[in-house]
Amino acid sequence: MWDYSQKVMDHFLNPRNVGEIENPDAVGEVGNITCGDALKLTLRVDRKDERIVEAKFQTFGCASAIASASALTELIRGKTLVEAARLSNQDIASYLGELPEEKMHCSVMGREALDAAIANYRGEKPPEAEAHPEGDIVCTCFGVTDKKIEQVVRQNNLTTVEQVTHYTKAGGGCGGCHDRIREIIEHTRAEMVREARERAGQGGERKRLTNLQRMKLVSEAIEREVRPALRHDGGDIELVDVEGTRIIVSMRGACSGCAAAGFTLKSLVEAKLREYVGEDVTVEVAE
């Protein structure tokens, strides 16, 4: 039995905006019924400012799929297409009070339907259609491409095949694609490190960062690389200040006063920040 939040159950039992808009301005269809999940999103858009005035969905799937689609329509109504495009699958999950990790692929499907609808409105190909037809399918059981796996690894800071399966279903069938998924994870994360180092001036001639630039890099690394791991165990972290290479943080939640907090600070927080921000940074807890 999945541990669903009350909000997930509410949106499952009382889904909002179910149905299909007649003569919609935008349509986004993703998934495949033969693979277990499918979602159709239709939008009515005010062409003056490209604001979404109505959103409806039809879905075939589990409780999480229905709740995620319902939440999506509530989140995007009243937003412009530009504002809606900033929505992440994590935003959908957070709106629902979190989803079981094994069901995160439902929030990803909602995000993809929105991408497809926006592309349809603008007369463009949806992001998934941009993938090359040859050599892109990694998981033949569920038709998942390398592009999609790379995207969810980047957006959700994934590190294992199991996590990729939870977010995309890839690898959840015969398991024959596990090695390829591992390769994509390793390659993608190596690219993420390279990009972060280039932003920090380590990808060639080193730049001298201003304190504001360094603080931005630190904030990004904490949000992407550190906070998810701490929250998984009931903890959290807050960036207090950056003084040159000295980073000052405050440990929150279960991490506050924990006997292992010092080990976590060095083995996780400082290690990740040295990897993504600079090898000379040190991390301290605020007094």
Annotated active-site positions, please?
Answer: 35, 106
Q: For CA atoms 163, 142, 88, 211, give the dihedral sign.
A: positive
| Burial state string for 174-206 with b = 16 or more CB within 10 A and e = fewer than 16 | eeebbebbeebbeebbeebeeebbebbebeeee
Identify which of 31, 21, 175 has the alpha carbon closest to the alpha carbon of residue 106. 31
Asked if residues 146 and 124 have their Cβ atoms less than 8 Å apart, the reply is no
Asked if residues 8 and 64 have their Cβ atoms less than 8 Å apart, the reply is yes
The number of CA neighbours under 13 Å toward the Cβ of 282 is: 6
- DSSP assigned state of 10: H
Number of residues in the chain? 287
How far is the C-alpha of 156 from the C-alpha of 167, rounded, in Å?
Answer: 9
At how many degrees (to 10) do helices 211-221 and 178-199 cross? 160
Asked if residues 62 and 52 have their Cβ atoms less than 8 Å apart, the reply is no
How far is the C-alpha of 26 from the C-alpha of 3, rounded, in Å?
Answer: 34
Identify which of 225, 177, 12 has the alpha carbon closest to the alpha carbon of residue 106. 12
